[in-house]
Amino acid sequence: MKSLLRSVPVLCALLSAALLGAPTALPLTTPAGLTFINTRAETVTFQGRAALRLTATPAGPGAPTVAAPAATKTKGAPSPAAAEAGRRDHLALVDGVDFTDGTIEVDLAGEPGPGAAGGARGFVGVAFRVQPDRRTYDCFYVRPTNGRADDQERRNRTTQYISHPEHTWYALREKTPGRYESYVDITPATWIRVRIEVDGAKARLFVNGAEQPTLLVNDVKTGAGTRGGVALWFEGSTIAHFANLKITPR
C-alpha cells in the first residue's frame, strides 16, 4: 500500500504532462512511471545520491547473460555482426510519453558488470522515438571506459549515435567511419549529465553542461516528424545508474 501511494504523484505528473504537452520530470528514485524491457530495476544510493540501478535480466536457458559487443575482432571472439545478431534491447520506457522534438536531460553512469567480456565499455544512454515494437528507436549513448583510454582510436569512440534495428554502431562505423562517434572526457561509475536536443532530422548530444554539443547528427534515421517513446537505455554487460530525468517536448 505504501509503495502504491508513493507511485500516485508520479503517475499523476506523467498523465498531466501527456495531456498538456508539459515537461515530464522523474527523479528516478523509484521504478514508478517506467515499463521495463529485459531489465531489472533497483532503488539504490549511488555516489551519495538516490538513483535507479538497471541491469539485464537473464536471457533464458542456454543464452549468455553477459554479451558485450566486440569493438574489434580478436581470435575466438564473435564478429560485431554476430554479437549484434544476439543482442537484446534493454530499456526502461517512460510511461505516457509521446515524443518527436524537444529536449531530454538525465544524469547517468555506466560501468562493465561482473564477468563482462573484454569489449565491455559500460554502455549507457537514452533512446528516443521508441516505436511500439520496442526494437525501433534512435539513441545516444556513451562508452565511459573509453574516455581516458590510452588509445586515441578508443577515445574517439566515447560517444555514439545509433538507430536500431538497422543502423547499429558497427554498420554506421563501416559505412561512415567517425561520423556518428566522438570524444568526451568521462569516466566509468561516475555521474554524467547528458542533454539531448532533437529537432526534426537533427539531434545534438551535450555532456556535463557544455555549451557546445559533443556529437551532432544531421540525419536522424527515424526521420523528421516521427513520434515515439523515450527510454533509459543500456547494453546487457553494463551496470547502469540513472537519476533526474526531464523530458521537455517542443
Q: Tell how strand 90-94 and strand 229-234 pair up.
A: antiparallel
> What average pLDDT is seen over the chain?
89
pTM score = 0.86
Phi, psi of 122 (to 5 degrees): 80, 35
Per-residue buried b or exposed e for 8-28, using 16+ beta carbons within 10 Å of the residue's own CB? eebeebbeebeeeeeebbbeb
Q: Indicate the CATH number of 24-249 among 3.40.50.200, 1.10.287.610, 3.40.50.1220, 2.60.120.560.
A: 2.60.120.560
Question: What is the residue extent of each domain of the chain?
Answer: 24-249
Average pLDDT, integer, range 135-148: 98
Phi, psi of 165 (to 5 degrees): -90, -10
Average pLDDT, integer, range 147-169: 97
pLDDT at residue 129 greater than cutoff 60 = yes
pLDDT band at 6 (very low <50, low <70, confident <90, very high): low
* Model pLDDT for residues 164-205, shown as the tens digit of each residue: 999 999 999 999 999 999 999 999 999 999 999 999 999 999
Cβ-contact 240, 190 below 8 angstroms:
no
Cβ-contact 18, 26 below 8 angstroms:
no
Phi, psi of 155 (to 5 degrees): -60, -35
Neighbour-count burial of 140, counting CB atoms closer than 10 A to its CB (0-12 exposed, 13-18 middle, 19+ buried): buried
Average pLDDT, integer, range 136-156: 98
DSSP three-state, residue 247? strand
Give the 3-state secondary structure percentages of the chain, helix then strand then coil, rounded to 5. Answer: 15, 40, 45
* Model pLDDT for residues 51-92, shown as the tens digit of each residue: 999 999 997 654 443 344 444 444 556 677 676 767 899 999
Average pLDDT, integer, range 200-213: 98
pLDDT band at 5 (very low <50, low <70, confident <90, very high): low
Question: What's the Cα-to-Cα distance from 67 to each of 31, 112, 115, 153, 250, rounded to whole Å?
Answer: 25, 11, 10, 22, 37
